Amino acid sequence: MNSIEQRLAELGLRLPEPSTALANYIPFVVNDNIAIISGQLPMQEGAVLYKGKVGIDLTVEQGQDAARLCGLNILTQLKAACQGDLGRVQKCLRIGGFVNCGPDFINQPKVINGVSDLIVEIFGTDIGRHARAAVGVNALPLGAAVEVEAMFRIG
């Protein structure tokens, strides 16, 4: 077990089964030493766990939980991109987060902190800190509350 797998175990986290693509795309692309992970929804056991608009149907805290679950799904795809070895991850380069919310909602950064905090918690500051976007949208696939994409440098 590598140190990242050990860290996940220490935190009591288990990576979900990989989700299948919902449309005409693939879950990740590896080009040279860059792994780009397609947008992940807050899926668990084949179903969207957090649906609705953050700030209307869900609290900011529930939105953060949704973003954290998206992060676990990102790590599942990243593990596949790394041929099963998360120890190959050298740096999280970017997180792009989309929050399903109403027009007056302004706490998208707080919601996406759910995934950013997870990545730093698992990989540490040097590897885990990243550039980021947190954007509000009026709808997401399957009614999901949050969708997150990511980019990593791998060895």
Express each pLDDT in 73-90 by its tens digit.
999 999 999 999 999 999
Collapsing DSSP states into helix, strand and coil, what is residue 27?
coil
Quote the pLDDT of residue 143: 98
Q: To the nearest whole percent, how much of the chain has pLDDT over 90?
A: 94
Tokens of 15: 């990576």
Helix axes 3-10, 108-128, angle to 10 degrees: 140
Mean pLDDT calculated for residue range 127-140: 98
Q: Is 115 left (phi over 0), alpha (psi -120 to 50) or beta?
A: alpha
Residue 26 pLDDT > 70: yes
Parallel, antiparallel, or unpaired: how do β-strands 89-100 and 34-40 relate?
unpaired
Domains of the chain as residue ranges with CATH = 33-154 (3.30.1330.40)
Residue 53 pLDDT > 70: yes
Quote the pLDDT of residue 62: 98
| Residue 43 burial (10 A CB sphere; 0-12, 13-18, 19+) | buried
| Residue 121 burial (10 A CB sphere; 0-12, 13-18, 19+) | middle
Tokens of 1: 């077990």
Mean pLDDT calculated for residue range 11-36: 93
Quote the pLDDT of residue 1: 57
| pLDDT tens digit sequence for 107-120 | 999 999 999 999 99
Question: In whole numbers, what is the pLDDT of the chain averaged over residues?
Answer: 96
How much is the pTM?
Answer: 0.97
